[in-house]
Amino acid sequence: MNDKYRLVIVEDQMLLRAGLRALLMQEPDIEIVGEAQAGPDAAHLIATMMPDLVLMDLTVSGLIGIGTVAQIKHDNPGIRILILTLLRGEEYIQRSLRAGADGYILKDATSEELRVAIRSVLQGKTYLSPDISSTVIHGYLGSRKSSGITSSWETVTHRERQVLKLIAEGRPNKSIAGYLCLSVKTVEKHRSNLMKKLDLHNASMLTAFAIAKGLVSSQSSHLENTAFEASGASIHGAGVLPAPARAASSI
């Protein structure tokens, strides 16, 4: 039985694509199942191979690939997408997250950071390269304030803030439900309420907003094996989450 993660690389520079392939082939649990040079080719390849993760540049063949990101997520929402690019601009970062990208890393990152980013995204977390985290934070603070989202934040309940924090920590609904002693259906309702109230439409955007509001740090949103994984101390210290409850609750 093949229990390796299946990965597709979308990159139009042959030399860089070969370097990525050589680097990732060293990972014992990752299998490169395909490579593409351009957006249209990538969409067909991904539909055929159904990988767990797509590692892609935004500027394949000189075109901005945000439309490809949106198409992949529309056709196969379960496929994770990690953007690897030279583009640092706030517009590209925001548009990528809105399109459904699960992570955004710059091409000048170290090989170790790339490994951490890939692992984080495969675990269901959102990864933002440290070099762009401040850009995301300032952009969200500015745009949300000007669009009225700041006042919308005041309508978010204490329980919804707890759920938001755990979403930003990369927790799936079932894990959040177990930690807060809620039903999965109740967690889904809280998640839906958060998206409606804040006008944010996926986990990546919720994570970026949580970073902007100081609920989590840009590091704790994507580092593996955080203190939360071990003991929950990093979350309790923020005063947002209580100690794990003992009895089930639906509120």
pLDDT in tens, 190-217: 999 998 888 787 888 888 788 777 787 6
Query: Which superfamily is assigned to 5-122 in CATH?
Result: Response regulator (3.40.50.2300)
Q: Tell me the C-alpha distance between 33 and 17, whole Å.
A: 13
pLDDT band at 142, cuts 50/70/90?
Answer: low
104 has a pLDDT exceeding 90: yes
Question: pLDDT digit string (tens) for 106-126?
Answer: 999 999 999 999 999 999 888
- Which residues contact residue 101 at a Cβ distance below 8 angstroms, ignoring those fewer than 6 apart? 69, 81, 82, 83, 204
Q: Tell me the C-alpha distance between 148 and 98, whole Å.
A: 18
173 has a pLDDT exceeding 80: yes
Record the tokens describing residue 205, joined without a space: 């955007």
CA neighbor of 230 nearest in space, from 239, 220, 240: 220
Domain ranges for the chain: 5-122, 135-236
Q: How far is CA 170 from CA 14, 127, 208, in A?
A: 33, 10, 12
Task: Confirm or reject CATH 3.40.50.2300 for domain 135-236, answering yes or no.
Answer: yes
User: What backbone phi and psi angles, to 5 degrees, belong to 103?
Assistant: -165, 160
67 has a pLDDT exceeding 50: yes
What does the pLDDT read at residue 203? Answer: 83
pTM of model > 0.75: no
CA neighbor of 201 nearest in space, from 59, 99, 67: 99
